[in-house]
Structure 1
Amino acid sequence: MIKKISLLFLIAISLASCASKEKIVYFNGINSDQNLETAQSNFETKIKPDDALMIMVTAPDLRSAEPFNLPFAAVMGTTTGLTLDNVNVQPRYQTYLVDRNGKIEFPVLGTLSVGGFTKEQVITDLNKRLEKYINTPIVNVRIVNYKISVIGEVIRPNSYVIQSERISVPEALALAGDLTIYGERSDILLIRDLNGVKTHYSIDLTKSDFINSPYYYLQQNDVLYVKPNKTKINSSVVGPNTTVIISTISLLITAIAIILR
């Protein structure tokens, strides 16, 4: 009788610890010979309020471009120690902060609307405006505070500055070290600010059609929250020592079965 109870107990533990492949593996349903193209393969980041833009204007005649650039900001720094002898001044490019109406104040040209436009569109617009003053202007635009945040059940939850200004959800999760075994893969929360309104979406990494989702690529200041799965939630209720207790009971039942044999 003890042997039967022990066997049933061990079988129950084994079944409880089994997980479905479909709940763990990403992008289920993709064939090895299937080529997938995202619906947003030409995705480009659009400029939003509170973006910090570094805009540099150059030309073959460098002096003609000088009035259209912000002056350098002097940044004080020290090498070793805190004495005045070790203080050095380093120049740093100033940036344009996009206001809540999507506008910036540009030297000579005045107020410019950049909110909702891609970098390429801003560059094209600036080139046309600058052609009146500069021969062959060259414009470079960069968002210097482009960041995303990944929190919850990942290895390295943090905020990450993205240099390329384009990142997908899988790439963002890779930066955070991927999901832990306790991360809910079928219901990741994406929080996004759209025109001052916080919106949220659910992302299912276990479905292959997610690659064609409009949320495959992230926007600046997006937040990904990986929820804990049922195993993690249940373990928080019963306590962290549950596994040890179950293992101890299993060993005791096995020992009793051997003694009573």
Structure 2
Amino acid sequence: MKFRSFFVLPFLLIFLQSCVSNKRLVYLQESEEINKENQASINALSKPYKIQVNDILYIDIKASDPELVAIFKTSEREGAAGVGNDPGTLYFEGYTVDIHGNIRIPILGELNVLGYTAEEIRKMIEKKLLENYLTESTNLFVTVKLAGLNYSVIGEVANPGSNVLYQERVNILEAIANAGDIPITGNREDVLIIRQYPDGKKIHHVDLTDKNLLQSPYFYILPNDMIYIKPLKQKSWGTGTTGFQTFTTVFSIVSIITSTVLLIQNL
């Protein structure tokens, strides 16, 4: 009896600790605590994004006479069909913000756009064109957008790597879904967001299982964000992530040890 207890109890503890509970897998669960800091940041979510270094802008300039603005078309392809959805095309045909926060536009030369919103840049370009190149009668129409929202997901996801989504806003759940979602071995309770700021990079921790995430300033990702999904300890232990896997592993270990002990006793 003592012999059985000596082996059964430790492995029973391993069995209980190695299984991944359902609570650690469900997104946006109700929480008894309300994060007042996150609630106060709801208004911050509505603020438009301000352009940073290495962002790529799509700028389209139209007028009643297409020949007047033909110089601003980066290629025949863009002029005929609009901006492409290929990140490589966007890199070569868009306007990349250099380390000084500038972009170079024909006729206008260098414009500093660092810290401005897309709407502010649009008004800036319109004003300069009307002052130096075109007139009101040309019916100038300028469009300025981010050339896709670029981000990376690494760690415990089905398809790690860089992604580009062509929409104004992307939340962290959408971003992870586009990377193939988090498998059972991924840690949803402590996801890291590595975000670029004017004074450098910062790391933020978010809990995908907490409903308060919806009011978090990190619910929506920003261009060039890196999302890191850490593995659970169960993966490194190798004992299994489901009850059946853990039972199979523990049963095999117990069987081997028991057989070894019985063999030694019979010698």
Fold agreement, TM-score > 0.5? yes
Q: Distance in 2 between matches of 1:15 and 1:244?
A: 13
Identify which of 227, 232, 235 aligns with 2:235: 232
Q: Deviations over 1:6-57 (max 9, x none)?
A: 98678546533554443222212179xxxx9954553533221122223111
- 1:89-238 counterparts in 2 under 5 A? 94-132=93-131, 133-134=134-135, 135-144=138-147, 146-195=149-198, 197-235=200-238
Structure 1 residue runs without a partner (length 5+) = 75-91, 256-261
- Contact between 2:45 and 2:217, CA under 8 Å: does it hold in 1? no
Change (3 A) 1:245 1:234: closer
Contact 1:55 1:140 survives alignment (8 Å) = yes
Query: Does 1:247 find its partner at 2:251?
Result: yes
Q: Which residue of 2 aligns with 1:16?
A: 17
Deviation at 1:251, TM superposition (A): 6.0
Q: For residue 218 of structure 1, give the secondary structure of its aligned residue in structure 2.
A: coil
CA contact (8 A) 1:103 1:113 kept: yes
- Is this contact kept in 1: 2:55–2:96, CA < 8 A? yes
Task: Quote the sequence identity (%).
Answer: 33
Does the aligned pair in 1 maintain the 2:20–2:184 contact within 8 Å?
no
> What secondary structure sits across from 2:93 in the alignment?
coil
SS at match of 2:29: coil
Q: Alpha carbons of 1:131 and 1:23: their partners in 2 closer, same or farther (altered >3 Å)? A: same
Are 2:101 and 2:113, in contact at CA under 8 Å, matched by a contact in 1? yes
Amino acid at match of 1:225: Y
1:161 counterpart SS class: strand
| Mapped contact 2:19–2:246 kept (Cα < 8 A) | no
Structure number with higher strand proportion: 1
SS of 2:238 mapped into structure 1:
helix
Q: Which structure has the highest helix share of the two?
A: 2
Distance 1:39 1:143 in 2: 22
Distance 2:2 2:255 in 1: 13
Taking structure 2 as the reference length, what is the TM-score of the superposition? Answer: 0.71
| CA pair 123-171 structure 1, distance change in 2 beyond 3 A | same
* Residue 82 (structure 1) aligns with: none
TM-score where L is the length of structure 1: 0.73
RMSD: 3.5
Per-residue deviation at 1:113? Answer: 1.6
Q: Secondary structure at the match of 2:115?
A: coil
Partner of 2:53: 49
Measured at CA, do residues 211 and 39 of structure 1 come closer, stay the same or move farther in structure 2, by a change above 3 Å?
farther
Equivalent position amino acid for 1:118 in 2: T
1:65 pairs with 2:80: no
The one-letter code sitting in structure 2 at the alignment partner of 1:95 is G
Separation of aligned partners in 1, 2:247 and 2:19: 15
Q: Aligned residue pairs: how many?
A: 229
Q: Relative to structure 1, is the Cα distance of residues 235 and 111 closer, same or farther in structure 2, using a 3 angstrom cutoff?
A: same
Does the CA contact (< 8 Å) of 1:48 and 1:115 recur in 2? yes
Q: Which stretch shows the higher mean deviation, 51-60 or 2-11?
A: 2-11
How far off is 1:202 after superposition? 0.9
Change (3 A) 1:71 1:226: closer
The aligned amino acid for 1:157 is P
Question: 1:45–1:165: 8 Å Cα contact kept in structure 2?
Answer: no
Tell me the distance in 2 between the aligned counterparts of 1:191 and 1:232. Answer: 24
Q: Tell me the alpha carbon deviations over residues 52-81 of structure 1, each in whole angstroms, 9 at most, x when there is no partner.
A: 2231110122222234x154289xxxxxxx
Distance 1:19 1:94, change over 3 A: closer
Name stretches of at least 5 consecutive residues in structure 2 with no aligned partner: 33-38, 78-90, 240-244, 260-267
Shift of 1:177: 1.4
Distance between the aligned counterparts of 2:250 and 2:216, measured in 1? Answer: 42
